[in-house]
Amino acid sequence: MKQFADADAAVQRQLEDDVFKWVQTELSVEALNPNPRLPFPDCPEIVTVPDFYSESAGVIGEIHTHLGKLKSAQRHKVAADILKMAMYEKAIGKTLRKYIVVCSEEEYKQLQGNSHLAYAIRVFDVKMMYYPLNDEQKQMLSDAMKKQDFYTGN
């Protein structure tokens, strides 16, 4: 497998910071914590680290910085995020407002469609949010994704 020198996620992390600030404003939650370590009360050695959480506001969420439709591994990541949020909600015995925030119109539409994953989003009452990237952010993300694409076309 060919390795790419610049295949790190620095661009995605920077965009996640921008999206986090936007989510904080959109949800009007000042006590929103980025990337908290949340141990499960009945099994404290197991920890989940969502992209944002507020105990006082009852909010938990994940941010996906991606362009285009999701590939198989990315769909599995979304599914795992939904599972972790639902498990944490059940473990603490408190209803949480669960969010998935995306930066791609294609992904947003895909996650609201007729797939098992879209159905899981509805069943587990996960709210979708769309953060529109500006042209510069889209270009940065597109360039980063190209560098991270390990698919060789074979």
pLDDT in tens, the chain (154 residues): 344 444 567 777 888 889 999 999 999 998 999 999 999 999 999 999 999 999 999 999 999 988 888 989 899 999 999 999 999 999 999 999 999 999 989 999 999 999 999 999 999 999 999 999 888 878 888 877 777 663 233 3
**pLDDT at 8 (0 to 100):** 61
**pLDDT at 145 (0 to 100):** 76
> How far is 90 from 42, CA to CA, in rounded Å?
11
- Cβ–Cβ < 8 Å for 60, 96: yes
Provide the residue type at 80 as one letter: A
Question: Which domains are delineated in the chain?
Answer: 10-147 (3.40.1350)
